[in-house]
């Protein structure tokens, strides 16, 4: 078993690849991203993700950020369990009425700079659910949103780009 | 609709079989009175089948109906109980089913929150979807509402069941969980590390989807269905389209039918790959997560290349599918199947031989076959607890019969069994994908459904990766959606986790929960 495991680890190529960014390749982009984070915060960026009524599609893509291709932890970005440890709230979903109070409490518990990123069509505009009795979004109606990331769901690259945009704004 | 020959064991006068377009599983509809409602439920509970779902509806004339769908040997039995024009708002609207099917309790609570219809004799009448954020006398599925009212959020207290005793304390978790997970609340009553009782509270992601359907053009309804649950978008979109096509009498091209199955199996494998990685990780085996997450990413990327979307959103639409499998992509897909098969088998040997992993998996979160049957557990979780149900095998639409879908199963009922089942199902789905590609008929991939149909019923019943999803709908004039009810298998399986966790330690909850990996959004709607 150990032999198989070692073989598996040794035999797997590290799937680092160029980031499909407009200007530079992945390495360069990730270095700049890392630097931008350090400039703003002087340490790793901690994100508290909140599902405010999403279909879970956005969560699947946020999960994908942790896979070896996007390797978001390698950039110094970490998803944390408590909003008290977070620099940024990454919120998905059309803001279900049943989640409103929880989102508000999480925002209050988050220390400055309290960056807020709305991820996905639902969080940005309410999407197809916006007029529903059970929804009180879009997110910007409740919280000051720094960056909107469109998409249904936004791809991991778009999510990275949105997170970086929020950071640059904060550094600005 | 044709008069029924068969399933007459239920002795239901006026039973009709819905026209079977698109090779949907057989659906039987019967109007019943209160006595027959109870009689059918009792017969099903005695062994003929299981309850799938319950829902309520009001028609344009203000008459209310409560419906139940049962899985029986011959297919799906849809019984409709008219309950008059004015729900009494608390007394005796329809006979309770939760005494026969414990998992019906939450469904009945949801029926009340949405329509005001109350199950007569139900023990638990707490609200389920209404968390106090809209008035207790606001019922969104009534025709007197628009479904677009605005309310202030006024979160109400919820009466959790208390466990008393020396040293018992509660751990409250959620609705926001410690991870990238959907929201829900878990209330654990524990002694030391051991869980005595778990009570779930869901409904946080309720978006009002069933009402939304009623103001959505039926030919656009697949977009709503496809956003009920992002990880089951293919299953729900197919179920919706199957139901609509049945109601409209649309026969889709054979190639579209085969492509839908291809999409469904690709969705199944994507989810199983993700879960196997996460299950390894929850047991402290990070290599497993890295390996499976990479495989899943490769899999999603090919989805995007071939079908234009990583998770296959909107790939299925009424009348067929949106995008064909191009000939020049077939090779890439087959090659990927071979590679993933090799890699998954190698990972399986590692998982199976890893003492640390097996120690965490084996005998953890046990759901015995008897308990699974009693709780009406379905899908993957049922097949890991000795259950035999798999719609692809039992009532499979084309092409599952043609390719000879095979059932995977395990008797153990623990986390290890649910892990093993995912490995087996990946194997089988890869085989099915190859068989689908090999046998794929040519021709067009979509037809235009004809909306000029008399009001009718339709049911779409699909074995999604988690279990069977059901969409039951009624069309009005010009094919408009009068009512569309959607059911996720998590309704059955959430209560099963409350049982599977008993006696385990709190620290094993994430692992047990992940081994079921149930849906919040699909349940809350």
Q: Is the ipTM of this complex over 0.90?
A: yes
- pLDDT tier at B2 (50, 70, 90 boundaries)? very low
Q: Which of B144-158, B343-357, B403-417, B427-441 has the lowest mean pLDDT?
A: B144-158
3-state secondary structure of A78: strand
3-state secondary structure of B345: helix
Asked whether the beta carbons of residue B148 and residue A97 sit closer than 8 angstroms, the reply is no
Q: Between A54, A128, A133, which is nearest B151 by CB? A: A133
The answer to whether the beta carbons of residues B31 and B80 sit under 8 Å apart is yes
Asked whether the beta carbons of residue B310 and residue A61 sit closer than 8 angstroms, the reply is yes
Query: Up-side HSE of residue A2: CA atoms within 13 Å toward CB?
Result: 0
pLDDT at B4 over 60: no
Q: Which residues of chain A have pLDDT under 50?
A: 23-27
How far apart, in whole angstroms, are the C-alpha atoms of residue B32 and residue B36? 6
How far apart, in whole angstroms, are the C-alpha atoms of residue B180 and residue A68? 17
pTM of the model: 0.93
Q: Is A107 on the interface with B (CB under 8 A)?
A: no
**Residue B366 or residue A29, greater confidence:** B366
Enumerate the domain spans of chain B: 2-147, 166-207+488-525, 251-448
pLDDT at B280 over 90: yes
CATH code given to domain B251-448: 1.10.645.10
pLDDT single digits (tens) B103-144: 999 999 999 999 999 999 899 999 999 999 999 999 999 999
Instruction: Give A63's contacts in chain B (Cβ within 8 Å).
Output: 180, 274, 293
Portion of chain B with pLDDT greater than 70, in percent: 97
pLDDT single digits (tens) B173-224: 989 998 899 999 999 999 999 999 999 999 999 999 999 999 999 999 999 9
The reply to whether B251-448 shares the fold of B2-147 is no
Residue of A nearest to B229 (CA): A55
What beta strand segments (E) does B18-72 contain? Answer: 27-31, 49-58, 64-72
Q: What fold characterizes domain B2-147? A: Beta Polymerase; domain 2 (3.30.460)
Residue of B nearest to A56 (CA): B230
- Best residue in A4, A72, A98 for a mutation probing chain B (most B CBs within 10 Å): A98
pLDDT single digits (tens) B30-43: 999 999 999 999 99
pLDDT single digits (tens) B450-486: 999 999 999 999 999 999 999 999 999 999 999 999 9
- What was the pLDDT predicted at A71? 87
Residue of B nearest to A85 (CA): B178
3-state secondary structure of A77: strand
Q: Which residues pair with A79 in a beta bridge?
A: A47
Q: Is A151 on the interface with B (CB under 8 A)?
A: no
> To the nearest whole number, what is the mean pLDDT of chain B?
93
**Residue B313 or residue B388, greater confidence:** B313
How far apart, in whole angstroms, are the C-alpha atoms of residue B103 and residue B454? 35
Residue of B nearest to A104 (CA): B153
What percent of the residues of chain A are helix, what percent strand, and what percent coil, each to the nearest 5? 45, 15, 40
Enumerate the domain spans of chain A: 24-171
Q: Between B296, B346, B521, which is nearest A55 by CB? A: B521
- Best residue in B153, B234, B273 for a mutation probing chain A (most A CBs within 10 Å): B153
How far apart, in whole angstroms, are the C-alpha atoms of residue A148 and residue A158? 11
Task: Using DSSP bridges, classify how beta strands A77-79 and B316-317 pair: parallel, antiparallel or unpaired.
Answer: unpaired
Q: What fold characterizes domain A24-171? A: Rossmann fold (3.40.50)
| Average pLDDT of span B337-359 | 96
Q: Is A78 on the interface with B (CB under 8 A)?
A: no
């Amino acid at each position: 078993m150990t032999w198989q495991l070692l073989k598996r680890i040794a035999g797997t190529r590290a799937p680092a690849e160029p980031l499909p960014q407009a200007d530079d390749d992945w390495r360069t982009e990730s270095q700049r991203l890392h630097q931008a984070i350090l400039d703003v915060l002087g340490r790793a960026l901690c994100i508290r993700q909140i599902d405010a009524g999403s279909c879970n599609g956005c969560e699947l893509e946020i999960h994908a950020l942790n896979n070896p291709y996007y390797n978001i932890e390698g950039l110094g970005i970490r998803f944390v369990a408590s909003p008290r440890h977070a620099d940024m709230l990454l919120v998905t979903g059309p803001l279900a009425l049943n989640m409103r109070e929880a989102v508000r409490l999480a925002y209050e518990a988050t220390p400055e700079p309290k960056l807020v990123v709305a991820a996905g069509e639902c969080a940005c505009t309410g999407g197809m659910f916006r007029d529903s009795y059970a929804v009180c979004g879009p997110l910007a109606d409740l919280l000051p949103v720094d960056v909107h990331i469109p998409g249904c769901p936004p791809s991991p690259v778009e999510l990275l780009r949105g997170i970086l945009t929020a950071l640059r704004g904060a550094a600005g | 609709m044709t008069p029924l020959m068969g399933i007459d064991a239920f002795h239901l006068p006026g039973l009709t079989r819905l026209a079977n377009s698109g090779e949907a599983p057989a659906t039987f509809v019967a109007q019943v009175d209160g006595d027959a409602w109870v009689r059918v439920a009792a017969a099903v509970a005695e062994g003929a089948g299981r309850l799938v779902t319950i829902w309520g509806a009001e028609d344009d004339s203000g008459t209310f109906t409560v419906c139940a769908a049962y899985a029986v040997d011959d297919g799906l039995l849809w019984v409709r109980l008219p309950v008059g024009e004015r729900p009494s708002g608390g007394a005796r609207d329809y006979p309770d089913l939760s005494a026969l099917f414990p998992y019906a309790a939450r469904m009945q609570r949801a029926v009340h929150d949405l329509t005001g219809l109350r199950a007569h004799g139900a023990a638990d009448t707490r609200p389920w979807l209404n968390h106090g954020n809209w008035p207790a006398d606001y019922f969104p599925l009534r025709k007197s509402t628009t479904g677009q009212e605005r309310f202030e959020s006024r979160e109400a207290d919820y009466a959790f069941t208390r466990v008393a005793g020396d040293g018992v304390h509660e751990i409250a978790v959620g609705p926001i969980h410690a991870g990238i997970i959907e929201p829900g609340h878990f209330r654990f009553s524990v002694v030391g590390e051991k869980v005595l009782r778990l009570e779930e509270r869901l409904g946080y992601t309720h978006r009002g989807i069933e009402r939304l359907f009623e103001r959505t053009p039926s030919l656009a309804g697949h977009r709503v269905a496809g956003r009920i649950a992002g990880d089951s978008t293919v299953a729900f979109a197919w179920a919706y389209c199957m139901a609509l096509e049945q109601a409209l009498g649309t026969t889709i091209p054979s190639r579209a039918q085969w492509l839908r199955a291809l999409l469904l199996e690709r969705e199944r494998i994507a989810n199983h790959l993700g879960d196997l990685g996460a299950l390894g990780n929850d047991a402290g085996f990070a290599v497993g997560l890295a390996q499976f997450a990479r495989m899943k990413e490769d899999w999603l990327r090919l989805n995007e290349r071939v079908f234009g979307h990583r998770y296959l959103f909107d790939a299925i639409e009424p009348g067929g599918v949106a995008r064909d499998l191009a000939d020049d992509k077939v090779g890439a897909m087959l090659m990927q199947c071979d590679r993933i098969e090799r890699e998954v088998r190698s990972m399986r040997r590692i998982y199976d031989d890893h003492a640390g992993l097996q120690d965490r998996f084996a005998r953890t979160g046990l759901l015995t076959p008897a308990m699974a049957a009693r709780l009406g557990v379905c899908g993957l979780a049922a097949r890991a607890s000795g259950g035999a149900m798999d719609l692809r095998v039992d009532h499979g639409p084309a092409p599952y019969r043609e390719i000879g879908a095979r059932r995977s199963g395990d008797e153990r009922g623990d986390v290890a069994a649910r892990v093993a089942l995912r490995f087996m199902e990946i194997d089988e789905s890869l085989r099915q994908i190859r068989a689908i590609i090999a046998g794929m008929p040519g021709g067009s991939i979509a037809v235009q459904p004809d909306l000029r149909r008399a009001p009718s019923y339709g049911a779409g019943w699909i074995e999604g990766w988690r279990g069977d999803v059901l969409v039951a709908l009624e069309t009005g004039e010009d094919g408009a959606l009068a009512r569309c009810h959607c059911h996720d298998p998590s309704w059955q399986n959430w209560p099963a986790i409350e049982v599977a966790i008993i006696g385990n330690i709190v620290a094993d909850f994430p692992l047990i929960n992940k081994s079921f990996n149930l849906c919040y959004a699909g349940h809350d709607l």
